[in-house]
Structure 1
Amino acid sequence: MTESLSYDSYDSYDVTGSGPVLLLVPGGAGHPMGLGPLTERLAQRFTVVTYDPLGLAHGRLGLPVPDQRPADWSEGAHRALEAVLPPDEQAYVFGTSSGGIAVLDLLARHPRRLAHVVAHEPPCVTVLPDGRERREELIGQLDGPGRPPAEGADATPMGVFLAHVLRPFSAHLPSLTAPEHRLTLAVGADSRGQLLYNTGELLADRFGSRLMEFPGGHIGTLDHPVEFADVLAETLLSSARTSS
């Protein structure tokens, strides 16, 4: 059974499956489009809570959106967990791209409720030694030709991402207490040598966390959903066995 809930005009989430709670935070502007096959596979083993931080899949697409901060998403994700998670239990968490930045912030702010976090290619590139230049490079690659006109920027998930998420999120500097053994930095096997792979390596080293390759590249959740889901599930469940 799938349940869809909303707190207010922004925080929305869907719940499906059964088993331990797994919170998913999508990338881009947080719209979970294309994650159906991944979610369906994970729902065979987890109660999957798919967070939609701006409510874009719940009726708000096309409405005005303010500039976003990782803290906006992480606090909303925490509210979702508090609504779903039994009082004495902890949740698994997965975030990809901008969602990966949000789950790093969630781990920093609310570690007590989290069993293990997987952050997949979070684009917080300012952690690199030449981070300022790499951030400008990233923005230039994504925010180039084809960007929607300013007056229609909130009409599509990509428009919302470019107008309100990309710049503030890519400037974020994660703050965690090292070593953080409840964190896995996930990088795409097809991303080796690329900017976000290097960012993941640096973050894993800085936080004393595990670095693990996942199927595909930056959008491995969409290109290889079944394989990606199986690797994610084993990563999370093995972390529970290791800590027990």
Structure 2
Amino acid sequence: METRTLSLPDAEIVHDVHGPLPPADGREVLLVIGQPMTADGFSDLIAELPDRTVVAYDPRGLGRSTRSDGSALNDPSLQAEDLHVLITDLGAPVQMFASSGGAVAALALLAAHPEDVSRVVAHEPPVMGVLPDAELAERANDAVGRAYQERGWGAGLAAFLAMSMWQGEFTEEFLARALPDPAQFGLPDQDDGTREDPLLSGTSAPVTSYQPDLEALRSVGDRLVLAVGEQTGEAITARTTRALAEALGTEPLVFPGDHGGFAVGDPSHPGDPAAFATRLREVLAARG
């Protein structure tokens, strides 16, 4: 593995290259992206793909990547432009696996630079605006931010977990519930005073509020594959994926596990990276 830094006018994009560039077997680079998750979140999946040249990156301002643009917002459209430069440097086109907020950045990239990728597997993009209960979902998300600002990291993450695990549409009854006890999730209830978590602080608001360009995404055909975890059920990221697929006139493909099924994860709720990698290989090879 080689760690490289791509210098942009207002950012330094750190990325890890696993395997030779260009790939020795002539296949395209596989670029794996998340947000706010950084490159290290893909280590289990990459270990199951030893025959591929895989590149994982830290989005600007997250992990090892820096930014000097005066903003802390994680904007999918801006991340898409960073990815465009990175992919050009790697040797376009690439194949891509994109998770969560990274999947939203992948949607923005496909709309702006479809020539950059031959196939994107967008795994559970949390684009709330496509939901029939979008307004209630936004209010639930806002409550997470308030819990974090008012009570600290443990309370904020507990509220996020309760929201992200909720099955089905959000209701006024859900919004009226008391905030969960952080101890219920094994989280601290004391406030350490920090407010810099990218998941909870509001800096990722442009991700969940991103409006996909449906016309542009329809035009890319089978370059875009929407993917949903078989164990995610009716949680919000599965519902956003299915709603987006319906808007595009497609069906999401089912992958093993839940939202984090590509990582070993918590022993009480493990993923299966080997099974996930097998499914990913099938889908990446099936274009056309």
Report the TM-score when normalising by structure 2: 0.71
Q: Percent of counterpart pairs with the same letter?
A: 30
Greater Cα radius of gyration, structure 1 or 2 = 2
**Letter matched to residue 112 of structure 1:** E
1:45 aligns with 2:45: no
2:195 is matched with which residue: 137, 144, 153? Answer: 153
Conserved 8 A contact 2:61-2:72: no
Q: Deviations over 1:38-60 (max 9, x none)?
A: 11222x23221212112533265
Q: Is the 8 A contact 1:101 1:169 kept in 2?
A: yes
Q: CA offset at residue 136 of structure 1?
A: 2.3
Runs of 4+ more than 3 Å apart = 138-145, 147-151
- Unaligned segments of structure 2, at least 5 residues: 149-153, 158-190, 264-270
The match for 1:90 is: 93
**Structure 1 unpaired stretches of 5+:** none
May I ask how many residue pairs the two structures share in their alignment?
229
Contact 2:145 2:201 in 1 (8 A): no
Cα separation, 2, equivalents of 1:209 and 1:124: 16
What residue is the counterpart of 1:24 in the other structure?
A: 32
- Whether the 8 Å contact between 2:74 and 2:206 is mirrored in structure 1 is yes
RMSD: 2.6
Where does residue 172 of structure 2 map in the other structure?
none
Report 1:68-107 matches (<5 A): 68-85=74-91, 89-107=92-110
Instruction: Report the 3-state secondary structure (helix = DSSP H, G, I; strand = E; otherwise coil) of the residue aligned with 1:116.
Output: strand
Map 1:1-244 → 2, pairs under 5 A: 1-8=1-8, 9-17=11-19, 18=23, 19-27=27-35, 29-42=36-49, 44-54=50-60, 56-58=62-64, 60=66, 66-85=72-91, 89-140=92-143, 144=147, 146=154, 147=156, 152-154=194-196, 159-177=197-215, 178=218, 180-222=221-263, 223-239=271-287, 243=288
Say which structure is richer in helix: 1
Q: 1:23 to 1:165 in 2, by over 3 A?
A: farther
Distance 1:95 1:139 in 2: 25
Task: Specify whether residues 55 and 66 from structure 1 end up closer, same or farther in structure 2 by C-alpha distance, changes over 3 A only.
Answer: closer
Over 3 Å counting, the alpha-carbon distance change for 1:150 and 1:139 in structure 2 is farther
